[in-house]
Copies of this chain bind each other. A is one copy, B any other.
């Protein structure tokens, strides 16, 4: 496995389970209303890494889980994730998703909203099938927090004065919470100790923060072409993320005035020249570097969280995906 990338290592260890998860997903979106399987297959198979369901499978394996509840619950996690992607892309007017034309561009916003709701309903049906109230509680709460995070992010659009605390609150809510829930569920179904459950939850939340920090850095990075999104997508959507917060805080008065004046009405697509100036400021003030440094801080916490587990191939692969999240270019 030495030559594999760090995600492939983990994927290889749960590959049989992941095949079963994919089967559950495919079965659940099979429907006589053609739009459902068409749009669902498109988004589900459009190069997603299945990171979140893989986390559920991995956490279960780490806890020596012997049953089969993890399959449906991993599928459930992927449905929640995909539903939020579909709604997000409508909210962000995204033209691209993972380098492909976004579902809302092909089928329209209406379809994306409703098929997103359908996916939420399928995640609920899977919780019903699982039949455990503790699992329901974690996933219901996760969905609440995600939803609040999305609204907070929307509410702070174009607000250059947003501080780092609010930013971290947003990414914890909208991204890291589902990573945490994905891991925690693996722990819960395995009946592992409270300490182990908490450890996996912490691993998940910090891994999620790393993931989002890198996502936000990549949005302003020249590596965007590999990433499959529009360069400066967050800027065009007026989404203020850490690189921009750092750029603003470190800018001189004149630069701050420039940033304020262009961000207060960003969201229009005629500002490539402004984006180029912003990229210069980010380079001048090492904003992407420091965003990545911040990701390293959280990656250490994620790694340390797993220390209570005995060494094993799965533990080592779970540590490797922290590096995958740090080093990813897409």
- The residues of A with any CB-CB pair to B shorter than 8 Å are 31, 33-36, 84, 87, 90-91, 109-111, 113-115, 117-118, 120-122, 124-125, 127-128, 131, 133, 136-137, 140-141, 143-144, 146-148, 150-152, 154-155
What are 23 contact pairs spanning A and B, CB under 8 A?
Answer: A33-B151, A34-B155, A35-B151, A35-B154, A87-B113, A87-B114, A87-B117, A90-B109, A90-B113, A91-B113, A91-B114, A109-B109, A114-B147, A115-B151, A117-B120, A118-B148, A121-B143, A121-B147, A124-B144, A127-B136, A127-B140, A128-B137, A128-B141
Closest B residue, CB atoms, query A121: B144
- Bound-state CA distance A35–B150 (Å) is 11
Closest B residue, CB atoms, query A92: B110
Residues in B whose Cβ lies below 8 Å from that of A128:
133, 136-137, 140-141
Minimum CB–CB distance from A304 to chain B (whole Å) comes to: 31
Minimum CB–CB distance from A159 to chain B (whole Å) comes to: 13
Residues in B whose Cβ lies below 8 Å from that of A143:
117, 120-121, 124
Minimum CB–CB distance from A153 to chain B (whole Å) comes to: 9
Residues in B whose Cβ lies below 8 Å from that of A155:
33-35
Closest B residue, CB atoms, query A107: B154
Minimum CB–CB distance from A234 to chain B (whole Å) comes to: 15
Closest B residue, CB atoms, query A152: B33
Q: What copy number does this chain have within its complex?
A: 2
Minimum CB–CB distance from A216 to chain B (whole Å) comes to: 19
Across the interface, A33 reaches (CB within 8 A) one of B87, B114, B137, B148, namely: B148
- Bound-state CA distance A133–B115 (Å) is 25
Minimum CB–CB distance from A188 to chain B (whole Å) comes to: 14
A118 x B144 contact (CB < 8 A): yes
Closest B residue, CB atoms, query A34: B155
Closest B residue, CB atoms, query A156: B33
Residues in B whose Cβ lies below 8 Å from that of A146:
121
Across the interface, A136 reaches (CB within 8 A) one of B122, B136, B141, B152, namely: B136
Minimum CB–CB distance from A49 to chain B (whole Å) comes to: 23
Closest B residue, CB atoms, query A90: B113
Residues in B whose Cβ lies below 8 Å from that of A141:
125, 128
- Bound-state CA distance A137–B140 (Å) is 14
- Bound-state CA distance A33–B144 (Å) is 13
B140 x A125 contact (CB < 8 A): yes
Residues in B whose Cβ lies below 8 Å from that of A133:
128, 131, 133
A140 x B118 contact (CB < 8 A): no
Minimum CB–CB distance from A41 to chain B (whole Å) comes to: 15
Residues in B whose Cβ lies below 8 Å from that of A115:
151
A147 x B118 contact (CB < 8 A): yes
Residues in B whose Cβ lies below 8 Å from that of A124:
124, 136, 140, 143-144
Minimum CB–CB distance from A81 to chain B (whole Å) comes to: 13
Minimum CB–CB distance from A46 to chain B (whole Å) comes to: 20
Residues in B whose Cβ lies below 8 Å from that of A31:
148
B147 x A117 contact (CB < 8 A): yes
